[in-house]
Structure 1
Amino acid sequence: MAGRIKDEDVATVKEKVHLDELVGDHVALRRAGSGSLKGLCPFHDEKSPSFQVRPAVGLWHCFGCDEGGDAIAFVMKIDHLGFSDAVERLAARVGVQLRYDETPGGRGGAPRQPVGQRQRLVDANAASAQWYAEQLMTPDAGEARTLLAERGFDRAAAEHFGVGYSPRGGEELLRHLRGRGFTEEELMVSGLAGRNSQGRVYDRFRGRLMWPIRDVTGDVVGFGARRLYDDDRIEAKYLNTSETPLYKKSQVLYGVDLAKRDIARERRLVVVEGYTDVMAAHLAGVTTAVATCGTAFGDDHARTARRLIGDVTATGEIIFTFDGDSAGQKAAMRAFASDQQFVARTFVAVEPSGKDPCDLRQAEGDAAVRALVDRRVPLFEFAIRSTFAQFDLDTEEGRLAGLDAAAPIVASIKDRELRYRYAVNLDRWLGFLDEAFVVARVARASRSDGAQQLASRSSQTRVDADDPVATTERFALACALQVPDHVGAQVDTLGDDAFTVPAHRVVHESIMAVGGATGRTGAELVAAVREAAPSAVEQLVTRLAVMDLPAGEKDLPRFAVGMVAKVAEVEANRTVMDAKRRLGRLDREQEPDAWTDAFSKLMDAERHQRAVRERATGTP
C-alpha cells in the first residue's frame, strides 16, 4: 500500500459525507422508523428490503447478507476499492483536500505520494495507453500484429482490450509525453521511463506488444509487455511495470475492469495465467476471466476476489485454470494454500492436453474454452488427488501414507457436512472399504488448537434470535448505542455479568472500555465502540446501531428505559439467588458472623431487586 491518510482527514470525510445521499445513488431508500431508512440490498438479491441506513450514526447494515459498515466501507464494497482509494473518492465528492502522513514506517511502511500526484500518474498512464494503441497500426508494428493474428485476435479484439505497441527507438513515448506536459520525474515514478548509468532517461518499454493493466475503476495503473524481437536486450518474455504508487503486482488483476460486473452478477471469477488467456476467455464467452500480472495468486488477490464476488462463499465460485503439467499442478496447490477463507467454493479447471485457454481456443474453438471451465473440479478434490500422486496406492503402506497426508486437507474444511462427505470419498478413492476407520482418521486430524479456538470464537458471537432473554439484551444494547441520552446512566451501572449472551457481554464491555454511554450522542458512542470492539463483534455493533426499535419517537424513551431495566432486573434476580444460596450453605449457630454478613447482603440484594423491578415495570 502507499502511505497513510491522516486520521483527522479521514474523520472529516466521514463527517461531511451524507450517507443517505451516498447510498441513495445506488439504492432506493424509504423511511423505516425513527431516524432509519430502508431499501433493497445492492450486494445480494432479495425481494423484501433488509438493507438499513441510519444517517445519524453514519452506518448501514444488511440484515439479509450481514454486510455493514460506514460510508467508506460502502464505497469499498460497491466500487471494489481499497481503503485509501475509497477515502480519496469520498474526499473528492465532499470537497475535502486530503493530507498524507509522510513519516516512513506509516501504514504500508512508505510515505504517500504528494496530494494530486496520483491523478498525474493516472493521466500519464492513460495517455501512454492511447499512444501505444495508436502505434499498433503503424508499419513498424508488423511483428506485433502478426503475433496477435497467430493467436486468433483481430483488430477489433485488440481495440477492445486496448492492446498496443511500443516502438523500438527508446525515446518516442518520452517525446510524446513531454509534449503533453509531463515531467521526467513523473514518468520515472510512473514506471514508464528509466534512467541509465549516464543519467539519460529512456522509454522503459521498447519493441514490445503492450497490454494496459487497469484497476477496478478503469484507471490504467501499469502495463504488461511481451517480447517480440530476438535482439531485445531484455531477455524476459514478459516485462511488467515495476512497483509504483499506482501499480502493486500483488494486488492487481488484469481484465478486472472488463470482468467486474459479470463477476458480481454471476458470482464467479475465473483465474487464467496470462493476458492472451484473458482475451481468449472473454472472446469465447467466459467474461469473468482475469489474470495475475507476473506473480502467483496471493492473499491480496484473494481479498480482491472476495470483494468482486460479494464474499458470498456459499454461492460464489473461484475457478483456477492451470496447465495439466507438473508446473500447473504446483500452481494449483499454491492457490489451495494461499487462502482457506473461500476454499470450499474454489475449483480447478485443468486441460489434460496442456493447452492454455488461448491455445485451446485456436485449436478447438470457443466452445472448448467454455467446456474447460464447466469441467471444473473442487479444489479440495484436486488437492487431495494431487497428494495421492506421491504415494504407491497399490500397497497398504502407500494407501495409509496417502490417507495420513490427505487427512489434514479434509480436516481443514470448515463445513462439517462437506468435511464428512470428503472423508467418505477418501475411503472410496483409497480403497480401504472401511469408512469408519477413515472418518476417525480425519476426525483425529481435526482436533487441533486452531480448530478449537475457531469453535470457541464462533460460540462467542452466536446469538439465538428466538431466546427472549437474548432479545431483551439485544434491544437494550441497541437502545444504549442509538439513544444513550435516555439510558446512558443505567447502562453504565450494569455489572460485568449483566448480559448472558457472550457476544452481548463483549459489546457491553466495549461500551465500558470507551468510558461508558453517559454524556455521549449516539454517533459518538457508536464510533468509539466500533473502534474499540474486537473484530469478532464489530458487525454485531453495526447491526445494533442501525436496527429498528419497536417504538415511535414519543414512546422511545420509555421503551429504552424499560429494556435496560429488564436486563438489570435479570442481573438483580441472579444476585438475589446467589445470595440465598450462600446463606443456605451457612450454619447460623456455628458461623454467626458469616451468616449475619450473608444475610445483610441478601437484604441489600433484595432491596436492589425491588427497585430495579419497579423501573422495569414502570410502577412507582
Structure 2
Amino acid sequence: MAMAGRIRDEDIALVRERSPIDEVVGDYLQLRNAGGGSLKGLCPFHDERSPSFNVTPARGLYYCFGCGEGGDAITFVQKIDHLTFAEAIERLAQRAGVELRYEQGGYVPRNEQGQRARLLDAHRAAAEFYAERLLAPDASAGRSFLTERRFERADAERFGVGFAPREWDALTRHLRGKGFTEEELIRGGLASQGRRGVYDRFRNRLMWPIRDVTGDVVGFGARKLDPAEDGPKYLNTPETPLFKKSTLLYGIDAAKREISRQRQAVVVEGYTDVMACHLSGVGTAVATCGTSFGADHIKVLRRLLMDQDRFSGEVIFTFDGDEAGRKAALRAFADEHRFATQTFVAVQADGLDPCDLRVGQGEAAVRDLVAARTPLYEFAIRSTIEQHRLDTTEGRLAALDAAAPIVAAIKDEGLRQRYAVNLDRWLGLMDERFVLRRVGQHAHQSGRERSGEAPARPRPPAPLRSQLNADGRMVFLAWEALKLAVQQPALLPGFDELPAEVFELPEHAAVAQLIAKLGGLASPAAQQGGAHWVSALREAAADDALRARVAQLAVEAPRPSSDESLDRYAASVLDRINELSINPRIANVKSRLQRIDPAAQAEEYNALFLELIQLEQRRRMLNERGRGAV
C-alpha cells in the first residue's frame, strides 16, 4: 500500500529518543551485563552457542561480533521483523506512544498506514470484538467450556479469550465498519473469499489471541464448540504476513520475563494447558500454534534463556501419556542437540495434561508435575524399550537394538556411557560391557555415516564418570561452591557437611581437603574471611599448583544471575548440590523396590516406598527453592 507521504524527521527523531535500544532488543532476547556499560545476548540473526551480540544503551547501538550485524533500534526492528524503514518507525511509534505526522498532508488517516500496522490494528480490533462477544447469550457453550475447566471470567480476560459468533460475517461487518477493507481481512487471515463474497474464517468457536514476543496480536487459535459442525477441532490463523506458526509460541509474551529470570521454559501442548500452568504458578509455560515444536521455536527460547551452556537452564516438555505423547517426546529428542541447556520431560503417570490435572487435583499438582520432570534422554530410552517384551532374552535384545541408537546419539561421551550403563540396568541384562560395546558400535556407525569415513574398529569406551557427576552439573556446582567458600565463607554454613564425593575432580578434592585441614568454614580463620582467610589457605597449601588453584578461586567471580543477590545464590548452590546428591539415593531405593515382592515382603516394601516419597518431596523442595539461581 502506498504511503501518503514521508514521515517527518522530527517524529523519527522522537521515536528514536523514546525507543531505548536495550528495551527494544529486550523484547526479543535476554540481555545480561557484559561490563563497561554494555549488555550481551545470543544473536537473533545467526545461530551461536556463546553470546556475541552486544548492546550499548548509552550509544543506542547494537553489534554482533559473530555475524557483523549492527545498527540502532530502528534497524533492529527492520531486520528481525522483516519490515521497511517506515513500517519499523510505525511499530516503534506505536510502542512509544508517538503519533506520527507525514509530509504532504499532515496527519495520515489510519487506512493509509503501512500494511503491517494495518493488519496489527485489525487483529487488535478483532481480539476486542471476540472478547466482548464471550459475554453474549450465544456464547454460553464457550463459557461452559471454560467453567468446566475451572477457568473464571477473570482468567478469560487475563488471556483475552473470546468467542466468534455463528454468523457468517459478524467480524467482517464489524471491522468494515472500522474502516478495514475486505482485502486486508483476507490478507490477515481473519476472513476468507467465497463464491458469494467474503465470510469470517472463525465461526462459533472459542478464540485465543496469539501474540508475538512483543505482545502484538498476530493471529488466533480457535476451538470448535459444536461437535456436529464441520471443520477441525482446532483451527488456527493461516500463514500470513503476521502469522508464521513455526516461529510463534502461545503465551511467549506473558512468559518471556519469567523464562529469562528462572532460566526455564515449559513447553506444553495446548492453549488451556498454558493457562492452567500460568494460573498454577508455572509462569514459564508456552505452547506451539498448530504445528510441532521445531528448530525456529528453539531459536526463540534459546535467546530468552541465554542458552549457552548446559548449566544455565532447563527446557521441560510436557506430553500426554499416550502413544501420541511418546512420539512427540521422541520428536523433541531429535532436536535436543540444538539446545545447550538441559532438557526434560514431565508426564503425569495417569496421562493427564496440565489443564485436566489442575481440574482434578489442583494447582499444586501442576507445579509438582513440572518439578518431577525426567531427563529427556531417560524418557526417550525408557519409552523405546517399553515397546518390547522384557521377559524374554529375545525381547531384551530387540529392545537393546532399538534403544542403542538413541543412546549413541548423545553427544557428550561421559553422559552417553552413563546412559548405556542405565540401559543395561533397565533391560536387566547385567552385562555392562556388552551394552557399552553395542552402543559404541552404533555411535561409531552414525559418526561414520555423517563423515563418510570407511569402517573402522570401535574404540574402547572412556572411563565412566560417577553417577553423581554423570552429566557434569555437580562438577560445575562444586566449583561454584569452592569459589564461594574461598571468597565468602560466611555464606555457606552447610559447606562442611557436604559429602566428599561431591568434589570428584582431583583439583576440587584437593581444595576441599585443604579447607577441612584448616578446620572448615566454621574455623576462626574462615569466620574472619577476606584476605586473611585466602592467605591462610595459600600458606597451608602443599604445593604451588594448589596455591595457584586457591588464587584462581579467589579471583574468579561466582555466576549468579544479574538480578540475584550473592547470599541467595550461595544458598541455591548448596540446595542444588544436596538435590543432586539425593538422586543416587532415590535410584537405589527404586532399584530395591523393583527387587521386592510387595505381597511377600509387604512391611519392607512399604517402608522403602515411604522413604522414596520422602526423598522425592525433599528433592522437589530443594529444586523449587534453588530454581533460577544455578
Would the TM-score normalized by the shorter structure come out above 0.5?
yes
Work out which of the two has the higher radius of gyration on C-alpha atoms and give 1 or 2. 1
Match for residue 321 of structure 1 among 303, 318, 322: 318
**Equivalent position amino acid for 2:128 in 1:** Q
Matches within 5 A, 1:182-331: 182-198=180-196, 200-232=197-229, 234-314=230-310, 315-331=312-328
Asked if structure 2 preserves the Cα contact closer than 8 Å seen for 1:163 and 1:212, the reply is yes
Matches within 5 A, 1:553-568: none
Q: Secondary structure at the match of 1:276?
A: helix
Provide the C-alpha distance between the structure 2 equivalents of 1:134 and 1:262, rounded to a whole number of angstroms: 29
Mark the CA change 1:323 to 1:260 in structure 2 (over 3 Å): closer, same or farther: same
Mark the CA change 1:149 to 1:24 in structure 2 (over 3 Å): closer, same or farther: closer
Matches within 5 A, 1:581-596: none
Provide the C-alpha distance between the structure 2 equivalents of 1:24 and 1:207, rounded to a whole number of angstroms: 39
1:381 aligns with 2:378: yes
Asked if structure 2 preserves the Cα contact closer than 8 Å seen for 1:299 and 1:339, the reply is no
Asked if structure 1 preserves the Cα contact closer than 8 Å seen for 2:21 and 2:72, the reply is no
2:352 corresponds to: 355
Asked if structure 2 preserves the Cα contact closer than 8 Å seen for 1:59 and 1:68, the reply is no
Mark the CA change 1:451 to 1:123 in structure 2 (over 3 Å): closer, same or farther: farther
Provide the C-alpha distance between the structure 1 equivalents of 2:449 and 2:438, rounded to a whole number of angstroms: 17
Identify unmatched segments of 5+ residues in structure 1: 1-12, 28-35, 96-113, 457-620
Q: Secondary structure at the match of 1:323?
A: coil
Provide the C-alpha distance between the structure 2 equivalents of 1:335 and 1:240, rounded to a whole number of angstroms: 22
**Equivalent position amino acid for 1:39 in 2:** G
| Displacement after TM superposition at 1:71 (Å) | 2.9
Mark the CA change 1:231 to 1:85 in structure 2 (over 3 Å): closer, same or farther: same
Mark the CA change 1:119 to 1:416 in structure 2 (over 3 Å): closer, same or farther: same
Match for residue 153 of structure 2 among 152, 155, 167: 155
| Displacement after TM superposition at 1:441 (Å) | 2.2
Provide the C-alpha distance between the structure 2 equivalents of 1:169 and 1:59, rounded to a whole number of angstroms: 49
Asked if structure 1 preserves the Cα contact closer than 8 Å seen for 2:41 and 2:303, the reply is no
1:398 aligns with 2:392: no
Deviates further, 124-133 or 423-432: 423-432
Mark the CA change 1:301 to 1:39 in structure 2 (over 3 Å): closer, same or farther: same
Match for residue 134 of structure 1 among 132, 135, 140: 132
Matches within 5 A, 1:13-24: 22=21
1:419 aligns with 2:413: no
Q: Secondary structure at the match of 2:117?
A: helix
Q: Secondary structure at the match of 1:393?
A: coil
Provide the C-alpha distance between the structure 2 equivalents of 1:73 and 1:390, rounded to a whole number of angstroms: 54
Provide the C-alpha distance between the structure 1 equivalents of 2:318 and 2:394, rounded to a whole number of angstroms: 33
Matches within 5 A, 1:103-182: 116-182=114-180
Asked if structure 1 preserves the Cα contact closer than 8 Å seen for 2:40 and 2:52, the reply is no
| Displacement after TM superposition at 1:373 (Å) | 0.8
Provide the C-alpha distance between the structure 2 equivalents of 1:301 and 1:357, rounded to a whole number of angstroms: 21
Provide the C-alpha distance between the structure 2 equivalents of 1:162 and 1:325, rounded to a whole number of angstroms: 30
Provide the C-alpha distance between the structure 2 equivalents of 1:24 and 1:160, rounded to a whole number of angstroms: 24
Deviations 1:314-350 (A, max 9, x none): 1221111111111211121122224422287211111
Asked if structure 1 preserves the Cα contact closer than 8 Å seen for 2:274 and 2:285, the reply is yes
Asked if structure 1 preserves the Cα contact closer than 8 Å seen for 2:116 and 2:241, the reply is yes
Provide the C-alpha distance between the structure 2 equivalents of 1:393 and 1:433, rounded to a whole number of angstroms: 13
Mark the CA change 1:242 to 1:26 in structure 2 (over 3 Å): closer, same or farther: closer
Deviates further, 343-352 or 258-267: 343-352
Matches within 5 A, 1:452-463: none
Asked if structure 1 preserves the Cα contact closer than 8 Å seen for 2:53 and 2:62, the reply is no
Q: Secondary structure at the match of 1:165?
A: strand
Provide the C-alpha distance between the structure 2 equivalents of 1:91 and 1:454, rounded to a whole number of angstroms: 47
Structure 2 length normalisation: TM-score?
0.57
Asked if structure 2 preserves the Cα contact closer than 8 Å seen for 1:39 and 1:52, the reply is no
Matches within 5 A, 1:383-532: 383-448=380-445, 450=447
Provide the C-alpha distance between the structure 2 equivalents of 1:256 and 1:405, rounded to a whole number of angstroms: 36
Deviations 1:417-439 (A, max 9, x none): 21121122122212222223322
Give percent identity, aligned residues only: 55
Provide the C-alpha distance between the structure 2 equivalents of 1:218 and 1:346, rounded to a whole number of angstroms: 27
Asked if structure 1 preserves the Cα contact closer than 8 Å seen for 2:20 and 2:73, the reply is no
Asked if structure 2 preserves the Cα contact closer than 8 Å seen for 1:167 and 1:208, the reply is yes
Deviations 1:493-546 (A, max 9, x none): xxxxxxxxxxxxxxxxxxxxxxxxxxxxxxxxxxxxxxxxxxxxxxxxxxxxxx
Asked if structure 1 preserves the Cα contact closer than 8 Å seen for 2:268 and 2:285, the reply is yes
1:366 corresponds to: 363
1:345 corresponds to: 342
Q: Secondary structure at the match of 1:351?
A: coil
Provide the C-alpha distance between the structure 1 equivalents of 2:55 and 2:253, rounded to a whole number of angstroms: 29
Aligned length: 403
Provide the C-alpha distance between the structure 1 equivalents of 2:20 and 2:325, rounded to a whole number of angstroms: 48
1:99 corresponds to: none
C-alpha RMSD of the superposition = 3.9
Structure possessing the higher relative contact order (Cα contacts under 8 Å, 6 or more residues apart): 1
Mark the CA change 1:23 to 1:223 in structure 2 (over 3 Å): closer, same or farther: closer
Structure 1 length normalisation: TM-score?
0.58
**Equivalent position amino acid for 1:352 in 2:** A
| Displacement after TM superposition at 1:159 (Å) | 0.5
Identify unmatched segments of 5+ residues in structure 2: 1-11, 27-33, 43-50, 94-111, 454-630
Asked if structure 2 preserves the Cα contact closer than 8 Å seen for 1:348 and 1:379, the reply is yes
Q: Secondary structure at the match of 2:226?
A: coil
Mark the CA change 1:403 to 1:319 in structure 2 (over 3 Å): closer, same or farther: same
Asked if structure 2 preserves the Cα contact closer than 8 Å seen for 1:411 and 1:419, the reply is yes
Provide the C-alpha distance between the structure 2 equivalents of 1:429 and 1:43, rounded to a whole number of angstroms: 41
Mark the CA change 1:26 to 1:121 in structure 2 (over 3 Å): closer, same or farther: closer
Mark the CA change 1:173 to 1:91 in structure 2 (over 3 Å): closer, same or farther: closer
Mark the CA change 1:176 to 1:302 in structure 2 (over 3 Å): closer, same or farther: same
Mark the CA change 1:453 to 1:193 in structure 2 (over 3 Å): closer, same or farther: closer
